[in-house]
Amino acid sequence: MRTHLGTASLTLSLVLAGCAGGAPAGSRGPSLPAAGERPAAPADEAPSVQPAPSPSAADDPTTDLGDAPAGGAAEKEEGAPESGASDLPYARGGTAAAAAPRAAAPRAPTRPAEAKAGSASGAGAASRSEPLKPPAIAASGVRAGEWDDNANYREWQAFLGTQLGLGHVAVDVSQRRFLVVTDSSGQGVPSCDVTVSDAAQRSLTLRTTASGRAILFPRAERLQGRLTATARCQGSSVSASVPLQDADAAVELRLPVARALPGRRTVDVAFVLDTTGSMSEEIEGVKATIRAVAERLEGTGTSVRIGLVEYKDRGDAYVTRAYPMTTDLDGFSDSVAAIRASGGGDTPEAMNEGLAAALEGLDWSERSVARMAFVIADAPPHLDYAGDRSYSLSMRDAARRGIQLFTVSASGMDALGQVVMRQLAQFTGGSSLFVLRGGAGPQSAGGGDPRSSCGGTHESYTSGNLDQLIVGRIRRELAALDAQPLAIAGLRRDENAKPCAERVVIAR
């Protein structure tokens, strides 16, 4: 839990990775200021977990991958093999003394401490009291910028090299392949399973997103030698070899049939929300967003299934609470109206358990053309809890199921939290959002001077409130169904290193 200001009503500014405001070449992407040294973790307390259960590590096929915290002692997941860190795709990140020096980011304004909210509303079902339903959607009161680490993939890797010693799980993303499933006319095929196997018979299955793409990181998955990818969907299949000579490439798998999509397209949207005492403003922003989704996508031929998992920390009245996926957006808005900020205490929170509950406890549909989770927090996960499922395993699970994680880091997020949130988004093909306060522009978050990028200015950024940002994201994913699937931002060259005329502009 961080301390925040909950008084200002602010607008939102969306920083795109394209010409309208990406960071200039040579910058390190967004980096909110560290909020000082994190306090020592308290002794473990038995949690009280509400409906969504965390999966058993013994049942998880990824637990043999040997995650280890960057810069800390290896913490082997339950069921992981006894192998040296040098063999692991998720290796130790060294020590703080060994880390490359990094420039201090300008400090963003922080919010003064606010009184901790009272005890959480009961551990049972949320109140169904009559919610406020204004005729017009109120502003969410949150201003934010966006950064896409896959569009600036080489810069992302360089940035990770400067963040050693924080304790995050060091994931080897130094090799990347976009697996692009297309139909006979070259259109992307969503929700298609792609199985990748190597010469040693290791294999994994990824599911494509709305664009028809899945992102494979061979070294993170311990795949070696000759790789073969096989796409199976639309009553057909196709295979192709996956060369590994280059660090970054795309492989097209073209099916011999035309894709068949449902007349009414369904998208799954979930919120994974830190509801500890400092998150009042963001919680109200999410409530406004739910109303906005219902209002702005009505009549578009799109069916939205929405769900939410709120999480707090061990020792609070509950650790996680799930609100199941539903298409009744008005009823869902009623059910989450009673969510209030409360609990927390030390800086880290139970984000690991919130992610696991969202992925395993919510009913994600295989028939949806897009699956999106918005992770909204102002503090990093506890990495010291016994029996916790690492966020690195959750992001792997999400990628394999075609669930994109879009992370929203609130002001005051420390350096560890920033890296974790960006890892979640980059590995799953999402993007990282960062909340700004007090009129701060992207410069205060380390996002670079907007005036130096393709002639853009702060005023020219796409702007709106948090609800507009998220609704816009949903629309962009739906638009990807009909976009060119092989026009991939950041493929072989970072977008912010290209001349403006050559950049892959992200649809707004």
The reported pLDDT for the residue numbered 105 is: 33
pLDDT digits (tens, 9 = 90+) for 256-278: 999 999 888 999 999 999 999 88
- The whole-number average pLDDT for the span 412-419 is 88
Predicted structure pTM score? 0.74
The reported pLDDT for the residue numbered 143 is: 61
Q: For the chain, give the percent of residues with pLDDT over 90.
A: 48
Instruction: Look at phi and psi of residue 358 and say left if phi exceeds 0, alpha if psi is from -120 to 50, else beta.
Output: alpha
Amino acid making up residue 371: R
The reported pLDDT for the residue numbered 231 is: 98
Mean pLDDT, the chain, whole residue set: 73
Q: What angle do CA 215, 219, 220 make, to 5 degrees?
A: 70
The residues near 67 (Cβ < 8 Å, ≥ 6 apart) are 75, 76, 77, 80, 88, 90, 169, 390, 392, 393
| pLDDT for 162 beyond 60 | yes
For residue 136, the SS3 value is: coil
Q: Rounded distance, CA 221 to CA 315, Å?
A: 35
Measure Cα distances from 35 to 38, 101, 179, 206, 417 in Å.
8, 18, 39, 37, 11
Q: Are 207 and 400 a contacting pair, CB within 8 Å?
A: yes
| pLDDT for 27 beyond 50 | no
**Domains along the chain with CATH numbers:** 12-35+118-171+263-502 (3.40.50.410), 176-254 (2.60.40.1120)
Higher pLDDT: 1 or 170? It is 170
End-to-end C-alpha distance for the chain, whole angstroms = 33
| pLDDT for 440 beyond 50 | no
The reported pLDDT for the residue numbered 465 is: 66
The reported pLDDT for the residue numbered 71 is: 53
Q: Report the half-sphere exposure of 190 (CA within 13 A, side-chain side).
A: 27
The reported pLDDT for the residue numbered 46 is: 39
Which segment, 51-60, 112-121, 489-498, is predicted with the most confidence on average? 489-498
- The whole-number average pLDDT for the span 179-200 is 97
pLDDT digits (tens, 9 = 90+) for 296-335: 877 778 899 999 999 999 999 999 999 999 999 889 999 9
| pLDDT for 91 beyond 60 | no
The residues near 165 (Cβ < 8 Å, ≥ 6 apart) are 70, 71, 93, 94, 95, 96, 97, 98, 99
The reported pLDDT for the residue numbered 160 is: 92
Amino acid making up residue 261: L
Beta bridge partners of 145: 434
Q: Rounded distance, CA 422 to CA 428, Å?
A: 10
| pLDDT for 51 beyond 70 | no
Measure Cα distances from 193 to 31, 126, 289, 304 in Å.
35, 36, 31, 22
pLDDT digits (tens, 9 = 90+) for 371-409: 999 999 989 999 999 999 999 999 999 999 999 999 988
Of 92, 95, 111, 86, which is closest to residue 32 (Cα–Cα)? Answer: 111
Q: Rounded distance, CA 406 to CA 159, Å?
A: 19
Reported confidence tier of residue 423, pLDDT bands at 50, 70, 90 = very high
Reported confidence tier of residue 63, pLDDT bands at 50, 70, 90 = very low
Query: What does the radius of gyration of the chain's CA atoms come to, in whole angstroms?
Result: 21
Structure tokens at 400: 């394999």
The reported pLDDT for the residue numbered 1 is: 56
Q: Rounded distance, CA 373 to CA 77, Å?
A: 24
How far from the centroid of its chain's Cα atoms is residue 147's Cα?
Answer: 11
Place of tokens 């219902």: 294
Higher pLDDT: 170 or 115? It is 170
Question: Buried (b) or exposed (e) across 353-376, using 16+ Cβ within 10 A?
Answer: bbbbbbbbbbebeeebbbbbbbbb
| pLDDT for 508 beyond 80 | no
Higher pLDDT: 2 or 154? It is 154
The reported pLDDT for the residue numbered 408 is: 87
